[in-house]
Chain A
Amino acid sequence: MKFSLRSLFTQGLTGHHGWGPQWRSPEPKPAYDAIIVGAGGHGLATAYYLAAEHGVRNVAVLEKGWLGGGNTGRNTTIIRSNYLWDESAAIYEHALKLWEGLSQELNYNVMYSPRGVMMLAHGVHDEQVFKRHVHANRLNGIDNEWLMPEEAKAFCPPLNISRNVRYPITGAALQRRGGTARHEAVAWGYARGASPRGVDIIENCEVTAITRDAGGAVTGVETTRGRIGAKRVGVVAAGHTSVLMGMAGVRMPLESYPLQALVSEPVKPVFPCVVMSNTIHAYISQSDKGELVIGAGTDAYTSYSQAGGLHIASHTLDAICEMFPMFRRMRMLRNWGGIVDVTPDRSPIIGKTPVPGLFVNCGWGTGGFKATPGSGHVFAATIASGEPHPIAAPFTLERFTTGRLIDEAAAAAVAH
């Protein structure tokens, strides 16, 4: 059913009993044209664009847990595209442009809110790096501007710009088109868009093996719900990518780390934007429910525990309390961890693998949510045509052999 003022009104007259499930929960068929492993935002977006733009409708999305229950439901919902290198700027800006029209395209309110993402500088080194980013972004047609501390405080009144703290704020880079979106709604919206186009979303279906023929090409997957055939398999499994690719004998340049986030008790609107500080390591925004959403760091060691050390979260809260003294007495409601797959150059891997028919979209590390629509869009094109989409082309697995890395880690455009 299409959501509209008319459908809302009609349902209102009948007590809202007529809203059905928003997507089907079918039994798996014996074979599909393509299988996507992982029903998170990226996987569902991939399936949606395969069906909506490439006519590949006989698609299954296999999920070992529940839809959107991995990092899609665990991130801090921040969207921005102010990355340094041309390759990164292209893909994140591609995603941001899709975000801007996503609620209309999906007929589902993903609550994209371009409230502005402000990245704080705490010294001359930060200033130089961020100003370089501002200039590089503008050359790529991406909005980013430099603010003095007083301007930063005018944009975000709770900010403490006193010089009398351990890491005084010396300026900020602001991307006004950056912001937040409701993370579950993105998964739900793509699932709702994909399902009527023929995509089978199959939850509680863990892939246990990837099967191949004598020539090495993919023939399907073994799952906890039986064997499912497909000549094209796309792995979109975030922290578990190494495990899945290992089933096809492919070693990956990935390490999986727990990344933590936490939310406070809900309060009235007090925080108008997103604020990030890479230097003292904190990021914060306020959800429409009123909770402060706070992102902490990764643990030092690889792990699949979906938890994280308390000292990591408390380190971030120290920084939050210094930047925003008004939050010192707020109570935290919940904290959790998600397993992020980190590449050596902190850029994603999107494209083909040495195994014919096997595609991978991974390595988004600590910042994949913002890329969800763009990632799914270019990955769908890659799977449909068998060749990388132009925006995805630099993000190959081969770059670790050729040496053409996209080194966003050293560029410090990203947190961590």
Chain B
Amino acid sequence: MLIIPCPHCGPRPENEFRYSGEAHIARPADPEATSDAEWADFLYMRSNPKGRHAERWRHIHGCGRFFNCIRDTVSDRIERSYPAGTRP
């Protein structure tokens, strides 16, 4: 079980959190001008790296807030966490 550093509550066990997938995926700003390929990229394509991964978590059994983590997907070590809406 991971120990996840919530930027608002501090380190807490993984089962207090909900994983929410890759971070920093922006919804297309102008949906009508967005091609099918761009929609597919937004909706389905994921970087799925072997190594550093920016990802969203939500502290559902705590403060309830979304935030982002940088985690290594080989060692599962979390490098750092930072509030939603900010960049690492």
Identify the A interface with B (CB < 8 A): 240, 242-243, 251-256, 300-305, 307, 309-311, 344, 400-403
State whether the Cβ of B79 lies closer than 8 Å to any Cβ in chain A.
no
**Smallest CB separation, A36 vs chain B (Å):** 21
User: What separation, in Å, do the CA atoms of A403 and B39 have in the docked complex?
Assistant: 10
Q: Is the CB of A303 within 8 A of B19?
A: no
Option from B17, B19, B39, B48 in Cβ contact (under 8 Å) with A254: B48
User: What separation, in Å, do the CA atoms of A253 and B25 have in the docked complex?
Assistant: 14
User: What separation, in Å, do the CA atoms of A254 and B46 have in the docked complex?
Assistant: 6
**Smallest CB separation, B76 vs chain A (Å):** 5
User: What separation, in Å, do the CA atoms of A240 and B76 have in the docked complex?
Assistant: 16
User: What separation, in Å, do the CA atoms of A305 and B48 have in the docked complex?
Assistant: 13
Known A-B contacts A300-B18, A402-B36; the reply to A305 vs B75 at CB < 8 A is yes
User: What separation, in Å, do the CA atoms of A401 and B37 have in the docked complex?
Assistant: 6
Chain A residues contacting B44 (CB-CB under 8 Å) are 253, 344, 400
5 contacts across the A-B interface (CB closer than 8 A): A300-B14, A301-B19, A305-B76, A344-B43, A401-B40
Instruction: Render B1-40 as a binary contact track against A, CB cut-off 8 A, 1 for contact.
Output: 1100000000000110111010000000000000011011
Range of interface residues on B (Cβ < 8 Å): 20 to 34
Q: Is the CB of B76 within 8 A of A400?
A: no
User: What separation, in Å, do the CA atoms of A240 and B74 have in the docked complex?
Assistant: 12
User: What separation, in Å, do the CA atoms of A242 and B44 have in the docked complex?
Assistant: 13
Beta-carbon contacts under 8 Å, B63-84 to A: 71, 73-76
**Smallest CB separation, B86 vs chain A (Å):** 20
User: What separation, in Å, do the CA atoms of A311 and B14 have in the docked complex?
Assistant: 10
Chain A residues contacting B50 (CB-CB under 8 Å) are 240, 242-243, 256, 304
Known A-B contacts A253-B44, A344-B43; the reply to A300 vs B19 at CB < 8 A is yes
Chain A residues contacting B45 (CB-CB under 8 Å) are 251-253, 400
Known: A242-B47, A242-B49, A400-B44. 6 other contacts (CB 8 A): A300-B17, A307-B76, A311-B1, A400-B40, A402-B36, A403-B36
Q: Is the CB of B1 within 8 A of A309?
A: yes
Nearest CB to that of B4 among chain A residues?
Answer: A301
Chain B residues contacting A305 (CB-CB under 8 Å) are 73-76
User: What separation, in Å, do the CA atoms of A400 and B53 have in the docked complex?
Assistant: 23
User: What separation, in Å, do the CA atoms of A310 and B43 have in the docked complex?
Assistant: 31
Chain B residues contacting A303 (CB-CB under 8 Å) are 73-74, 76
**Smallest CB separation, A213 vs chain B (Å):** 24
Q: Is the CB of A310 within 8 A of B36?
A: no
Residue of A251, A254, A401 contacting most chain B CB atoms (<10 Å): A401
Known A-B contacts A303-B73, A401-B37; the reply to A242 vs B14 at CB < 8 A is no
Chain B residues contacting A242 (CB-CB under 8 Å) are 46-50
Residue of B41, B45, B48 contacting most chain A CB atoms (<10 Å): B48
Chain B residues contacting A255 (CB-CB under 8 Å) are 21, 46, 48
**Smallest CB separation, A322 vs chain B (Å):** 20
**Smallest CB separation, B77 vs chain A (Å):** 10
Nearest CB to that of A250 among chain B residues?
Answer: B45
Q: Is the CB of B53 within 8 A of A251?
A: no
Chain A residues contacting B49 (CB-CB under 8 Å) are 242-243
User: What separation, in Å, do the CA atoms of A311 and B3 have in the docked complex?
Assistant: 13
User: What separation, in Å, do the CA atoms of A304 and B76 have in the docked complex?
Assistant: 8
Chain B residues contacting A254 (CB-CB under 8 Å) are 46, 48
Option from B15, B39, B55 in Cβ contact (under 8 Å) with A301: B55
User: What separation, in Å, do the CA atoms of A344 and B55 have in the docked complex?
Assistant: 17
Nearest CB to that of B40 among chain A residues?
Answer: A401
Chain B residues contacting A240 (CB-CB under 8 Å) are 50
User: What separation, in Å, do the CA atoms of A113 and B73 have in the docked complex?
Assistant: 37
Residue of A300, A310, A311 contacting most chain B CB atoms (<10 Å): A300
User: What separation, in Å, do the CA atoms of A402 and B19 have in the docked complex?
Assistant: 28
**Smallest CB separation, B46 vs chain A (Å):** 5
Option from B19, B21, B46, B74 in Cβ contact (under 8 Å) with A253: B46
Chain A residues contacting B75 (CB-CB under 8 Å) are 305
Chain B residues contacting A243 (CB-CB under 8 Å) are 48-50
Chain B residues contacting A253 (CB-CB under 8 Å) are 40, 44-46
Nearest CB to that of B37 among chain A residues?
Answer: A401
